[in-house]
Amino acid sequence: MAKDLLRKYAGNVPRYTSYPTAPHFNDAVGPEAYGRWLSELGAADRLSLYIHIPFCDRLCWFCACHTKQTLKYAPVAAYLQALHAEIATVGACVDRAARVTAIHLGGGSPTLLEPADVIALKVAIGEAFALDEAVEFSVEMDPNDLDTPRYDALGAIGMTRASLGVQDFDPAVQKAINRLQTFEQTRSVVEAVRARGVRSVNCDIVYGLPHQTMTTLEDTVAKIISLSPDRVALFGYAHVPWMKRHQQMIPDESLPDADLRFDLMTRASEMLGEAGYAAIGIDHFARPVDSLATAADEGRLRRNFQGYTDDPATAIIGLGASSIGLLPKGYVQNVPATGIYEKSVLDGRLAAVRGFALQAEDRMRAWVIERIMCDFGFDAAELSSRFGHPAATVLAEAQALAAEDPMVRFEHGRFEILHRARPFARSIAARFDVYFGAGGARHSAAV
């Protein structure tokens, strides 16, 4: 039955970390609109900051992020100067009473920053924004970058969550993706951050990698479980060489086929469940006492460009080249090219180059798709209460889909995906996406 579902829902669909998805952003949203949207944030708003460091000292061939390799620190230092300028400019546009409740430092490899620069970055954020006393501060970490001074600097800025990319511990797989990282290195990072008071550790595992087998994945998952992380993200490798040219270093024939890819995902999920982790959405797992699991139980789970989150912020502000933000009026993205970004922000301008101004129907469908991705369904009454008469259109679509697809049902006022079809939530969510298939956008495999 599972393989029949795989055939049925096979295909490339968006990951739905936004709606509309990034390929549909346009240049109608630029610095003027972004500045206006920022100024409309008020004292009651709670802010989440995403800060992008687009540099790595090695380029992982599987990566689909906006990043570049550098073996010199000078480009990083120049970028940080510009980043400080943008932080000051954006902060000046926002009501000082709006408090920052979460900060996410991502990349690239933010842990390649020099310790003094890590501390200076936190100081710049604190000067430009009002930080909540209980602000969550998560950092993506590359074990190959880390040393005692960097650990100490991350502890000094109040890091609360460390996120470690693992992918697969097998040497052959690591060589094929140019990401060499031993289990011992990873364990030392977990021990070092916990020794400095970091109360939450997340580990990323990727299935569908070149030369990956059931044996290599089971070994990786078992080792991850032995580290007792608070959260685990189980991502499917997104092979998009037409978009990320360095992925052309990975031959198509080295990748697991669709059947093995599905089996890898299923087995990893089983092992994490057997170890006591609660399944969160389609690709996250958390200890039952973790705040992410609590949010899922209480219907407060959210999904954004960082994946699943319990972050309740009303606005996400993206800082740095290529960063994406979500404000009440819509999405905004900074220019990806670091040179253009640096010139813009050093001249005191906002770096926004594209985005999407949300209309009423967009907000409604965004809510529906987020609930499908987080809760595997939605309540008709809540949809109607939130969006009024226009909800009738979506409810008719849901009823029609339930009539034709036995893997979903619309009963007792609730649209819901059956449990065995939940891994294919992305494909089912796409049925409510009026932009899907338009504009020639290409996406990664559904599972």
68 part of a folded domain: yes
Considering the domain boundaries, does residue 208 fall inside one? yes
pLDDT at 440: 59
What pLDDT does residue 439 have? 64
> Are 230 and 329 contained in the same domain?
yes
107 within a domain of the structure (yes/no): yes
Q: What confidence score (pLDDT) does residue 46 get?
A: 98
pLDDT confidence of residue 69: 83
Last residue of a domain, one of 357, 377, 393: 357
3-state class (DSSP) for residue 121:
helix
Is 179 inside any structural domain?
yes
**pLDDT of res. 441:** 62
- Encoded tokens for 388: 């009024």
Task: Note the helical H segments in 57-114.
Answer: 74-93
Rounded to whole angstroms, the Cα distance separating 220 from 215 reads 9
Cα–Cα distance, 316 to 162 (Å, whole number): 20
pLDDT averages per 10-residue partition of the chain, 447 residues: 72 90 95 98 97 88 75 96 98 97 95 97 98 96 94 97 94 90 96 95 95 96 98 88 72 89 96 98 97 96 93 96 97 97 98 98 98 98 98 98 96 96 95 85 61
Token reading at 438? 């338009």
Please indicate, yes or no, whether residues 312 and 349 belong to a single structural domain of this protein: yes
Interatomic CA distance for residues 36 and 31, integer angstroms: 9
- Could you give the 3-state DSSP secondary structure of residue 236? strand
Total number of domains in the chain: 2
Q: Is 99 helix (H, G, I), strand (E, B) or coil?
A: strand
Assess whether 204 and 68 both reside in one domain. yes
**Of 224, 168, 178, 154, nearest in space to 63 by CA:** 178
- Fill in the DSSP letter of residue 25: -
Helix axes 214-226, 258-274, angle to 10 degrees: 30
Mapped onto helix, strand or coil, the DSSP state of residue 142 is coil
Query: 153 CB contacts (<8 Å, ≥6 apart)?
Result: 115, 116, 118, 119
Shared domain for 343 and 200, answered yes or no, is: yes
Residue 95 resides in a domain:
yes
CATH of the domain at 86: 3.80.30.20
Q: Whole-model pTM above 0.85?
A: yes
Residue 376: predicted pLDDT: 98
Residue 297 sits in the same domain as residue 277: yes
For residue 93, being part of any structural domain is answered with yes
Find the distance separating the first CA and the last CA of the chain, reported in whole Å: 16
Residue 7 in domain: no
Domain boundary among 310, 326, 357: 357
Same domain, 318 and 370: no
What is residue 238's DSSP assignment? Answer: -
Asked whether residue 406 falls in the same domain as residue 344, the answer is: no
| Domain closes at, from 292, 324, 357 | 357
Q: Is the dihedral of CA 298, 300, 303, 308 positive or negative?
A: negative
Do 382 and 317 reside in the same domain of the chain? no
Same domain? For 348 and 381 the reply is no
Query: β-strands 278-280, 284-286: how paired?
Result: antiparallel
Q: What is the CATH number of the domain that holds 395?
A: 1.10.10.920
Q: Are residues 287 and 414 in the same domain?
A: no
**Domain of 383, in residue numbers:** 360-432
Q: Which two tokens stand for residue 65?
A: 């992020």
DSSP 445: B
Contact criterion met (CB below 8 Å) for 335 and 341: yes
What is the dihedral angle through the alpha carbons of 385, 388, 390, 391, rounded to the nearest 10 degrees?
10
Grouping H, G, I as helix, E, B as strand and the rest as coil, residue 336 is coil
Claim to verify: residue 232 and residue 128 sit in the same structural domain: yes
